[in-house]
Structure 1
């Protein structure tokens, strides 16, 4: 077994371990917080975080992916130039955050957004000073340190939120958790930097390389924001904040399998592919599909379990204020499958410098949402909206796979048998539940 394969296996194990621990923390914290805080607060923070995420994506030139894939990824001058751009970007993001605060508060008719948005947005300045050591560790597949780093930061954030919410159950509990964890993450990132310390620097050749690759990342991430956050942006206008909070709980749980796949692809597979770009395209495709096969099999079972029994999870763990999330969760989970198929291979397009296909995929996904979400909500109500949101990745999947086919990296046959296996598991588990008198997981809406 090659050294790179050993690194990939070790990195995958650490990623899965970190993801599992992260989700236990996230889920446990969510259960406690939903008992301490009212749903409206989660809806409010979901809106604010959507806009902060949008600002980050609107200015993303792919600094971390550039460091991971560049031949100069260990060059101090290259790293410091990237860090300098990152610092100035953080300040710029916060200024824009101040400018958009009033229009956001006016559009959603909630004056609390006038002060919540700029306070939460201050984390963009904090994260701008994070060390490039995080990208370097990822580049070298040193995921043990990264996993421990993420776990500690997340644990601190949840701890602050829970203690604050117990003492004072207000929106400040969620705000404090975000800001304190960002500050702690900044300090920890520089402690991980055992070699070169980041400082302000400007190298024209490094800048040229960063912008050359980053311009496509920018286009892709802008479209990613509109496509992936359009549900919250539009539902925030169509639904009450309370119902948006309920939807957020369901979506967070449905997102678990997808987030696992994203973690493995970003932290392990993307760096590995970046180190194999000199291989013939057919060999690169074979290597990717060989690793992907096992990932798709592993992700199928938890996804099928959420589809068949997700309603019971909601009804058992949450109080009746979140009862409607019970029927939302199975539908949203099933809709994640086309996106899981896409993200389990689309990092290959980033690695070969072709993220344009991903940007186009998100354009079509956005068009799908803008046209069908308001229309379905007006005709069928919230069920129609959830159905549209659940299956909004089909357009993205079609465009991404066209790009993979054009670049000689298609995995359509693998997608087909993986989908057959998933549906087989769902039919089997659902049939067992129904035969035992448990009905269907979406009976409450039917």
Structure 2
């Protein structure tokens, strides 16, 4: 049995999934521990400022996304020296663009002053532009990482990736706590974030000590462009779909309310990002390898991955929907109590995880356009719903709008799966009973606590 076959066989996939799940579980503990510690050291408005800053970083990153990670996983030319040099050059150029864009946004806010929007807007906070300027360094540091880091996903070397991500989280938390003792402001969060980025960059060159060379080769660049043009559109729309709620609310609510929404969103993201890691680190490489070598097995392999992930999401989403008041009450003090209703609705965002796996399966076949279409529909529906529901129902209405946008993409996804010969309706229905089990389990836990 070859090494590649073992890595992408059942045992290899199982090992990668176990490492990812274990890393995911530990990551959640660290993330929640970090959140609990920092919410006791800092006021809610600090998290509002940080949430909006990180949303802008994520937005610029996704708008400029060329799918370099996905291309590194799926391309047959990744081991070519010129291909790697071209990838790294494009990666660095993208990091510089994000860095300069953030400086321009911050400079624009300073130039406009406080006369262009509602006085309670987070954008008009006098500290906000300076936070943006400091955090602009983060994507620049990330862009300098060697291309070997992209290759870890291609090789499905989950063990190294998990260890590194956990180490970065721990370093970030320790730096945040230390900084908060000196300055209990948003700068503690900023300093911790930048320290984590510096640590990750150093470790990446310990793992891959050869410094890449700036070089653009014609053929590899053409491949990057062909693959990335649709992903750029999809990522730009995906950013608006994923972060548009906080960006829109930043214009409507003061910092402390955005902070409550951000806390509830962070709890859901702690789970959602873990599942996304499984999809990106395990599912996408496996699906890509299957389509390259045995495309007729793609539906079978896809549903082997989908059914357990979808069942887990249905159970978790409805369990958290019922137990949200208990979770918030156990984790936070009374200042954050109003986040419970928001958390309950936002937990239903987890139901959209199976659609993301389906889009990854379509991407392995070269259908990147579907990702862009789904993101466009989600963006339009979620932002429109938030705009309409927030004035009537407050933050809970905004959360409902975000959920509606995330679920509206399923008809698009199913249509494309059917056209691609992948859809198996019977297997799609298998995970649904897990939602009922999750709901009634949550109801029993809620009654027991009450």
Normalised to the residue count of structure 2, the TM-score between the two structures is: 0.92
Secondary structure of 1:287's counterpart equals helix
Query: 2:322–2:442: 8 Å Cα contact kept in structure 1?
Result: yes
Alignment match, 2:44: 39
Task: Tell me whether 1:101 sits opposite 2:106 in the alignment.
Answer: yes
Task: Tell me whether 1:79 sits opposite 2:77 in the alignment.
Answer: no
Match of residue 223, structure 2, among 209, 213, 227:
209
Task: Tell me whether 1:120 sits opposite 2:135 in the alignment.
Answer: yes
Alignment match, 2:120: none
Change (3 A) 1:121 1:434: closer
1:303 CA drift (Å)? 3.4
Alignment match, 1:22: 27
1:400 CA drift (Å)? 2.2
Q: Aligned residue pairs: how many?
A: 435
Alignment match, 1:405: 418
Secondary structure of 2:408's counterpart equals helix
For the aligned residue pairs, the C-alpha RMSD in angstroms reads: 1.9
Query: 1:276–1:284: 8 Å Cα contact kept in structure 2?
Result: yes
Secondary structure of 1:392's counterpart equals helix
CA deviation profile, 1:100-153 (whole Å, cap 9, x unmatched): 224456552222222111110111211110111111111011111111111111
Query: 1:83–1:132: 8 Å Cα contact kept in structure 2?
Result: yes
1:34 CA drift (Å)? 0.1
CA deviation profile, 1:341-395 (whole Å, cap 9, x unmatched): 2123221122111121111111111111232211112233333222212332122
1:331 CA drift (Å)? 1.6
Q: Structure 2 CA distance, aligned partners of 1:300 and 1:369?
A: 21
Task: Tell me whether 1:294 sits opposite 2:301 in the alignment.
Answer: no
1:134-173 equivalences under 5 Å are 134-173=149-188
Q: Which runs of 5+ in 2 are unaligned?
A: 118-122
Query: 1:257–1:302: 8 Å Cα contact kept in structure 2?
Result: no
1:58 CA drift (Å)? 1.0
Match of residue 318, structure 1, among 328, 332, 336:
332
Query: 2:63–2:235: 8 Å Cα contact kept in structure 1?
Result: yes
Query: 2:317–2:349: 8 Å Cα contact kept in structure 1?
Result: no
Alignment match, 2:346: 332
Query: 2:73–2:285: 8 Å Cα contact kept in structure 1?
Result: yes
Q: Which runs of 5+ in 1 are unaligned?
A: 439-446
Task: Tell me whether 1:249 sits opposite 2:254 in the alignment.
Answer: no
1:300 CA drift (Å)? 4.1
1:379-398 equivalences under 5 Å are 379-398=392-411
Task: Tell me whether 1:190 sits opposite 2:195 in the alignment.
Answer: no
Task: Tell me whether 1:378 sits opposite 2:391 in the alignment.
Answer: yes
Q: Structure 2 CA distance, aligned partners of 1:280 and 1:125?
A: 39
Secondary structure of 1:199's counterpart equals coil
Secondary structure of 2:213's counterpart equals coil
Task: Tell me whether 1:267 sits opposite 2:281 in the alignment.
Answer: yes
Alignment match, 1:426: 439
Q: Structure 1 CA distance, aligned partners of 2:448 and 2:416?
A: 45
Q: Structure 2 CA distance, aligned partners of 1:380 and 1:310?
A: 18
1:7 CA drift (Å)? 2.0
Alignment match, 2:74: 69
Normalised to the residue count of structure 1, the TM-score between the two structures is: 0.92
Query: 2:308–2:431: 8 Å Cα contact kept in structure 1?
Result: no
Alignment match, 1:52: 57
Query: 2:322–2:446: 8 Å Cα contact kept in structure 1?
Result: no
Alignment match, 1:234: 248
Q: Structure 2 CA distance, aligned partners of 1:420 and 1:324?
A: 31
Secondary structure of 1:344's counterpart equals helix
Q: Structure 2 CA distance, aligned partners of 1:89 and 1:289?
A: 35
Alignment match, 1:443: none
Q: Structure 2 CA distance, aligned partners of 1:9 and 1:436?
A: 36
Task: Tell me whether 1:356 sits opposite 2:372 in the alignment.
Answer: no
Query: 2:23–2:166: 8 Å Cα contact kept in structure 1?
Result: yes
Q: Structure 1 CA distance, aligned partners of 2:124 and 2:72?
A: 42
